[in-house]
Structure 1
Amino acid sequence: MASRSFQAHQQAIRKVKQALARDTLQQKILEKLTGLSPQIISRFLTGKPIDREALESIYSALGLALEENDGLIENGEPDLDRELSVLIEQVRQHCCRKIKRRHSQVTLLNQQQVEVSQLCVDLCTVERLSRETCISPANLLQDFKPQQDFERFGLGEPQQRLSGLQAIARSPKSIVIGKPGSGKSTFLKHLAIACCNGQLHSDYIPILLELKELTPLVTRRNALLKEYIHLELGLIDPLQTENILNSGKVLLLFDGLDEMPETARRNVQYQIRNFSQQYYKNSIVLTCRTQATEYTFPNFEYVEVVNLSSAQVEQFAKNWFCALTEKPHHGNILAKQFIGKLRFRENQQIAKLAVTPILLSFACWVFQTFKYLPSCHFDFYEQSIKLLLDPKDIDSSLDPQLFHELLNYIATKSFEREELFFEEKTLQKDITDYLNRRYPSDLNAQDKPEYKAILEILEEQYGLLLERAPGIYSFAHLTLHEYFLTKAILDRFSPQFSDRSFSSLMQKSWQDIFFLAAERMNNPDDLLLQIKQKTDTIIATNQKLQIFMAWVTQKASLVQVSYKQAAVRAFYFSLAVDRILEPKLARSLDFSHAVDRALKSSLHDRSLACHLDENLNRVFKYNSIRKLDYEFLLDLILDCLLVTFAYDLGLFLTFVDNLHIQLEHELKQSLKRFKSQLPDAEGDKSTYQKWWKSNSEIWTQNLRLTIIAYRNIGYDWQFKTQEKELLKQYYDANKLLVECLKRISRVSGDVRQEIESTLLLPIAEIEKRRKNNYQKVS
């Protein structure tokens, strides 16, 4: 039978208020003295129903004697609503005690603890993805640009920014998404404590559930969530739980949907969806790394944890360093020093990373341990991983070096496949292949780590690999992927530099990572000399290409220009190769257009020559043709003539006169004779076309031979397809070498000189020079 409802007599309320005023006590102090919630105290002071034990607690705390007229008086007939309110308040107190005991503090990376109420984040609403996209991660990858949007994989476009409590208070059902390590789990704990303290849904019962705890229990029973909630409420009668859920006075906080195995996750998603529809009055907050889920959640608003603001970064640092010291003043000094270092211009790379709690934690930890902040990504991750994978903190059965090597291997394999995101089956194959290579085949099965155990450590314990959508993984951050890739390259390219490694370097995507790795070598000289040797061997055995290189060397040695000799060779190499690799250039409208295109077009790759000589670089950068050395200018426009031929011969001669270019007298007369042989193209076009059809082949051949005779350019090399491919590889390899010299500061002067002086020489000339140098040394 339902119990009766009671309320305090007005005399009791008046005596309590007088006692509070007498002792200058506030309501909050009375709450602490009695252990009662703010709601019960407020209910008593306003004449609303409470139970006898609460009244006795209030009197005892204030030192009052309970008199006859101070007791509770009956409030009429049984009132089920008031009875439920009392029950909700009792259960709320029970749940809040558990919440505060379990979640009032969070453990930082350095094992120090800090009050969760001090850790706050902001949220923003995000554009909701379509159902079709949510249920098909493959669609996400189809039009996704990994390099540009790596951190926002599976996330909609951000909208309005709000404080965390604001965002949740205005939406009864929310899915909190965000980048790995952005603080989603800590935020749920913050919400739970805020609810207990009356800052959010002050009359709600908070329940915080880490969904991965349900994994062993998940079955097809749709009542699993309800059963778990019933246990959390601490009630015996399931009907009481049903009444509380129907009242809509529960704040349900579900953490880590994406951390569950796929089968369990699908089941729990289905249950949450049904539960939210059946008990729709309650407030539900769910965390997940991405919107890409197999089920959508009707009437849920997506909100994203955003990067920490400058003020939040400072507050986090104060929390971190104050937790280290007994005196807050000392912690504030350390925090101020850390923030000062973070704001140095040279530390901007790290400052841009340290806007999520996890990476800011690493930055604080590194500063705490090493007393400085690294200025680049590589050093930052080097120190962070050293702290994270400390041998004393890792399962003793596993060698810490295993994790370093495995992550290097995964980074390399995924990069070779040009993948920043990889399917689980691919990741499983990479990990299994690595374990098979590392451990002998005859090793007992129980002594060999398993794929699942390794992945669990890397994903759940350390957060280095993450599931970004169902069955799709990546490194936690793009810069972390680059770090392990750089480490792998350092091992891969030195000291043994294989042909396979050299082939990888020819891929543009490898080169920035390679330069970063090479810059970290204590002595990159041997590596660059090996690259130079392998570059020369690309065309060393092809006789025709060696003849071509001999011509490049001869031509470069004969012209009188002010540029570096290696740059001169590069200029004539590219002048010839452009025509070899792109023989079917569309004929220009006129000769001036042809020259203009020769200066500006991307088909004319003079980057190698320009890298080798700054003066030459300025000429082509600003298209200042008049500042080009005379012989380069003459050969450049003659090369343009070989493209336009008869139609522009007259325009060529006019162009030369306008620029006051002094052609050799015999060459100029020869060109005029060729011009006189042509019919008037502006006159009888039929006659001109007939003449061109009958005579053009021999006429253009003789013109080419004349230019060859006077300027030694314009050869028709007639290379085969394979030879063209080799030339392209050879030229790209030389560009890589020069880029190395430009970007790697630790290369010695002697090696720089050796590489530059033998650049783009035939193999016979290189060997001759090396032999002479050897004899001089001997």
Structure 2
Amino acid sequence: MAAIPVHPEIFKLLKQAYSEKFGSSPRSLINRLNNAFKQEIDSDSENLIAERTIRSFFNSTEPPKTLEKNLNYFCQVLLEQSSYQEAVRQFAHTDLGQDWLAPYWNHLARKCSTMRILDMNEPVSINNIYVKFQILKNIQGRRQQTINFLLDGFDSIPEENPSYRRLPFSGNETHIPALEAVMRYRKLMVLGKPGAGKTTFLKYLAMNFSTGELEDKIIPIFIRLRDIYDEPFGSLTNVVIKEFTDRIANSESRVRELLLQGQCFILLDGLDEVKADKNNENIYNIYREIDNLVNTFPDNRFIITCRTTASDYVFHDFTEVEIADFERAEIEAFTRNWFRERGEAETCDVFLKKLQDNEAVKELATNPLLLTILCLTFEDTYDFSLNRYAIYNDAVDTLLKKWDASRRIERRTSFNISRQRKINMFSQIAYQGLDNKPSKVLWHQWELLEQISDFMQNITTEIDSQQILKLIESNYGLLIQQAKNIYSFSHLTFQEYFAAEYVVENREQEFLKNFVEKNLTAKQWREVFVLVTERLSSADEFLKLMFKCVNNIVKDSPGLQSMLTWLDKITTASGIGTSGWRAYYLAIDLDVDLYISRDIEIERALFAKFATDIRNFNIKRRQVTPPQPRSLLISRLAAIHALAEDMSNEATRNSYISLSKRNFSSKMLKISEDIEVDIAEKLNDAIEKAQEINDTLLTEALIEFQKSCPSSTASAHDWQKWSEDLRQAMLNHLDVGYQIDLDEQDIKLLYDYIYANHLLLECISGENYSSKELREQIVDNMLLPANKL
């Protein structure tokens, strides 16, 4: 591979980064290169690049020639660009015919080419992580809608929610791509919730607007508005010009000419981050300075970013838009970019699968900042289910404190109470909302103002509830407007988190007892129960309360107690008397009609999910009871009985098909023939199992059933009689084959009972501090009748 000359600007940037990041130490750079590209090191070589090559390159006074392969390595580690050619594209701007601006381009690249937030170990390239997103043309909090309109259809949202939102109050607004809005509106005010990606968006524009992707010969100028008050600046115009004059001598007149010609794209980031002084003079000054800058140089492009509701000032000629939440496509694109950038591309599919399986966690992913937290968390745990409380706590802590602190932003507010008091207030609002009948996830503004006032008057006499609510919305993004003067928590997950905090803070025995008894089977409290279990310093008493209340659901139902007795009897007699097998038999019974009539209307998926999860729990603790011959025999006969019932039903339907529908009748016949073959195979297997347990009488009976099995063209009556005879044989020889019809009340109780058992199992399976013996005792005693507890 031939050596190529290094572009002067790239050479200068590489030397500067070599000095800043590695102290011009070749050994430090070599260690980093070896670690980053260890799979590419030749087996005959000690290092990816020889030390003498590195010394020769960086000691050169003029750009040397070197292998492009080595330049790719240098650019990835030192400039965080995917290749040397990408670095040239990003940082070498001679194609604009503006060679005198080269120092400015270098400055802009250092300022905007990377991002680093929160607990990231090192910055990442904006271009490698950025995701094109959508904006809302109509500001969400300004919609004129009622609570009833917003709640319409809320209870019927499918579990597979493509929007990832469990509070589906938005989605009907006009969405347009953010880059399209930039092209359409020369003066744009971009609003967004905390962590919505406003700064990242401006940095992306700063790095790409001049490259031809969006528009030629435009000079991006990125200004953090919070930084300009660190020292006297005179005017915002001076700040803009100073971006150039600090790096290019005698350039003021040329910069002014660019501004007058409208060749600049001025990106003003973080209007909400300008620190307010005592009389808000800084705030009013910045409004005035922005107006002056725009009026003095009106032909340029402008974007201002600000948190939603953080400013009431109206900038004339600016179009206001709002950053939309991430949808599924953006979430997937971001995570793929993220893990590829971190060298863990294969982890992305696992991340997305785990995210999809957890409704409460995945809705946080609609916010880029919170999605970043989830990615960082997943790198450590590779799971979200171990301790969801810790994930939510980190997200809340980030919004309340860490996000601003990590960027050294200090916001002066009249809401100066401790973080814990803020959490107490949010917790009271959240709990009372879920406890309301019906549960409340939306509040009128006046309702929140009353709750804030009631809480704050116990802390201070100086209360301005309206100002406090505005500060909560703009500073933290935990409570947001879903429509004009109608609020909700930004995510239902946050309401559940704060409600759990309320329960834990009020965890006296009587309160917990009432809480469990009242809410155990109410689905809106499901996540709260899990979080409370994870939050308590010891969850033993809470789990005992739950177990007691679970069994109280069916305690007074003779029909369900009889069913539980049957479950215990059939599994014990088969040598598999465990909760896992009881759950399995109950799940299949709803389909095979052994004990409970399968004609009852009940959500069967829950029963199957519970059986699977309890088996997985037992696998993890190595307490799995393998199937025994008798249990396998019962399973085969139950399946045969169910197939026979199906044949009876098919025959009934087939008898109604007229000759004009003969083709359809032929299809039905094929289905019947397939079922007949299945029955024959299962009967052979059942006979073998009966012989294995040495039950001669049952073996002879099954052989007779084999001989008398109706054909696929037999009548419904023949199949029904054969099915009933088989049931009676199962009852006589195996003591199974009962059948009852549960009334509506018992059906509801049965569903609630399994739902509550499943919830209890989820709480036990999470990361909680509780006695191992207690956890195992509870699981072992699930689905037992009252007289066995």
Q: TM-score, normalised by structure 2?
A: 0.50
Cross-structure match for 1:572: 585
Bigger radius of gyration among the two? 1
User: For residues 136 and 468 of structure 1, do their structure 2 counterparts lie closer, same or farther at Cα, with a shift above 3 Å needed?
Assistant: closer
Cross-structure match for 1:610: 615
Cross-structure match for 1:667: 698
Q: Secondary structure at the match of 2:537?
A: coil
Shift of residue 408, structure 1, vs aligned partner: 1.3
Shift of residue 666, structure 1, vs aligned partner: 1.5
Q: Give the alignment partner of residue 147 of structure 1, picking from 164, 168, 176.
A: 164
Shift of residue 535, structure 1, vs aligned partner: 0.8
> Residue deviations 1:237-285, cap 9 Å, x none?
xxxx9xx77x845777766595279xx78xx5xxx6xx53xxxxxxx5x
Which stretch has the larger CA shift, 485-494 or 125-134? 125-134
| In 2, Cα distance between equivalents of 1:468 and 1:383 | 23
Counterparts of residues 92-171 of structure 1 (less than 5 Å)? 147-148=164-165, 156=175, 158=177
Q: Give the alignment partner of residue 532 of structure 2, picking from 499, 517, 521.
A: 517
Q: Give the alignment partner of residue 547 of structure 1, picking from 536, 540, 562.
A: 562
Q: Give the alignment partner of residue 484 of structure 1, picking from 498, 512, 537.
A: 498
Is 1:202 matched up with 2:217? no
| In 2, Cα distance between equivalents of 1:394 and 1:288 | 26
Q: Give the alignment partner of residue 466 of structure 1, picking from 466, 480, 484.
A: 480
Shift of residue 753, structure 1, vs aligned partner: 3.8
| In 1, Cα distance between equivalents of 2:567 and 2:446 | 51
**Does the CA contact (< 8 Å) of 1:124 and 1:160 recur in 2?**
no
**Does the CA contact (< 8 Å) of 1:381 and 1:480 recur in 2?**
no
Cross-structure match for 2:643: 644
**Does the CA contact (< 8 Å) of 1:181 and 1:359 recur in 2?**
no
**Does the CA contact (< 8 Å) of 1:184 and 1:287 recur in 2?**
no
| In 2, Cα distance between equivalents of 1:616 and 1:629 | 20
Shift of residue 168, structure 1, vs aligned partner: 7.2
Cross-structure match for 1:410: 429
Shift of residue 720, structure 1, vs aligned partner: 1.2
Q: Give the alignment partner of residue 432 of structure 1, picking from 428, 447, 450.
A: 450
| In 1, Cα distance between equivalents of 2:532 and 2:748 | 28
Q: Secondary structure at the match of 1:467?
A: strand
> Residue deviations 1:391-438, cap 9 Å, x none?
x9875997876532221133345667999996551x542552575588
Counterparts of residues 310-329 of structure 1 (less than 5 Å)? none
Cross-structure match for 1:25: none
**Does the CA contact (< 8 Å) of 1:409 and 1:434 recur in 2?**
no
Cross-structure match for 2:575: 560
**Does the CA contact (< 8 Å) of 1:642 and 1:704 recur in 2?**
yes
Cross-structure match for 1:706: 729
| In 2, Cα distance between equivalents of 1:616 and 1:752 | 11
User: For residues 601 and 617 of structure 1, do their structure 2 counterparts lie closer, same or farther at Cα, with a shift above 3 Å needed?
Assistant: farther
**Does the CA contact (< 8 Å) of 1:535 and 1:734 recur in 2?**
yes
Q: Give the alignment partner of residue 778 of structure 2, picking from 750, 755, 765.
A: 755
| In 2, Cα distance between equivalents of 1:547 and 1:381 | 47
Shift of residue 170, structure 1, vs aligned partner: 10
Cross-structure match for 2:190: 176
Q: Give the alignment partner of residue 656 of structure 1, picking from 666, 683, 694.
A: 683
| In 2, Cα distance between equivalents of 1:555 and 1:492 | 44
Q: Secondary structure at the match of 1:202?
A: helix
Shift of residue 746, structure 1, vs aligned partner: 2.2
Shift of residue 748, structure 1, vs aligned partner: 0.9
| In 1, Cα distance between equivalents of 2:452 and 2:498 | 15
Identity %: 17
Is 1:190 matched up with 2:207? no
Counterparts of residues 317-466 of structure 1 (less than 5 Å)? 356=369, 376-381=390-395, 402-412=421-431, 425=444, 428-433=446-451, 435-436=453-454, 447=461, 449=463, 451-466=465-480
**Does the CA contact (< 8 Å) of 2:580 and 2:615 recur in 1?**
yes
| In 2, Cα distance between equivalents of 1:476 and 1:387 | 17
**Does the CA contact (< 8 Å) of 1:182 and 1:358 recur in 2?**
no
Shift of residue 503, structure 1, vs aligned partner: 5.4
> Residue deviations 1:606-639, cap 9 Å, x none?
325524543999999xxxxxx8432221111221
**Does the CA contact (< 8 Å) of 1:185 and 1:287 recur in 2?**
no
**Does the CA contact (< 8 Å) of 1:178 and 1:289 recur in 2?**
yes
Q: Secondary structure at the match of 1:147?
A: coil
**Does the CA contact (< 8 Å) of 2:479 and 2:490 recur in 1?**
yes
Q: Secondary structure at the match of 1:176?
A: strand
Q: Give the alignment partner of residue 751 of structure 2, picking from 704, 714, 728.
A: 728
| Partner amino acid, structure 2, of 1:410 | I
Q: CA RMSD of the aligned region, Å?
A: 6.2
Cross-structure match for 1:33: none
| In 1, Cα distance between equivalents of 2:776 and 2:289 | 78
User: For residues 707 and 604 of structure 1, do their structure 2 counterparts lie closer, same or farther at Cα, with a shift above 3 Å needed?
Assistant: farther
| In 1, Cα distance between equivalents of 2:599 and 2:241 | 74
> Residue deviations 1:566-606, cap 9 Å, x none?
323333333445546661399xxxxxxxxxxx9x9986963
Q: Give the alignment partner of residue 741 of structure 1, picking from 764, 768, 785.
A: 764
**Does the CA contact (< 8 Å) of 2:540 and 2:774 recur in 1?**
yes
> Residue deviations 1:337-387, cap 9 Å, x none?
xxxxxxxx9xx99x9999759999xx9xxxxxxxxxx99434535755785
Shift of residue 734, structure 1, vs aligned partner: 1.9
| Partner amino acid, structure 2, of 1:452 | Q
| Partner amino acid, structure 1, of 2:684 | D
Counterparts of residues 20-59 of structure 1 (less than 5 Å)? none
| In 2, Cα distance between equivalents of 1:121 and 1:488 | 41
**Does the CA contact (< 8 Å) of 2:190 and 2:198 recur in 1?**
yes
**Does the CA contact (< 8 Å) of 1:568 and 1:609 recur in 2?**
no
**Does the CA contact (< 8 Å) of 2:389 and 2:534 recur in 1?**
no
Q: Secondary structure at the match of 1:174?
A: strand
| In 2, Cα distance between equivalents of 1:158 and 1:418 | 40
Counterparts of residues 280-299 of structure 1 (less than 5 Å)? 288-290=321-323
Q: TM-score, normalised by structure 1?
A: 0.51
| Partner amino acid, structure 2, of 1:755 | I
**Does the CA contact (< 8 Å) of 2:568 and 2:582 recur in 1?**
yes
| Partner amino acid, structure 1, of 2:422 | F
Higher relative contact order (CA 8 A, sep 6+): 2
How many correspondences in the alignment? 515
* Gaps in structure 2 of 5+ consecutive residues: 1-116, 119-125, 203-221, 226-235, 245-254, 275-283, 326-333, 343-350, 356-360, 377-387, 406-410, 648-674
Q: Give the alignment partner of residue 534 of structure 1, picking from 512, 535, 549.
A: 549
Shift of residue 528, structure 1, vs aligned partner: 0.5
User: For residues 436 and 512 of structure 1, do their structure 2 counterparts lie closer, same or farther at Cα, with a shift above 3 Å needed?
Assistant: closer
**Does the CA contact (< 8 Å) of 1:649 and 1:675 recur in 2?**
no
User: For residues 399 and 376 of structure 1, do their structure 2 counterparts lie closer, same or farther at Cα, with a shift above 3 Å needed?
Assistant: closer
| In 2, Cα distance between equivalents of 1:641 and 1:380 | 53
User: For residues 395 and 547 of structure 1, do their structure 2 counterparts lie closer, same or farther at Cα, with a shift above 3 Å needed?
Assistant: same
| In 2, Cα distance between equivalents of 1:511 and 1:717 | 31
| In 2, Cα distance between equivalents of 1:486 and 1:671 | 56
User: For residues 765 and 739 of structure 1, do their structure 2 counterparts lie closer, same or farther at Cα, with a shift above 3 Å needed?
Assistant: same
**Does the CA contact (< 8 Å) of 2:191 and 2:307 recur in 1?**
no
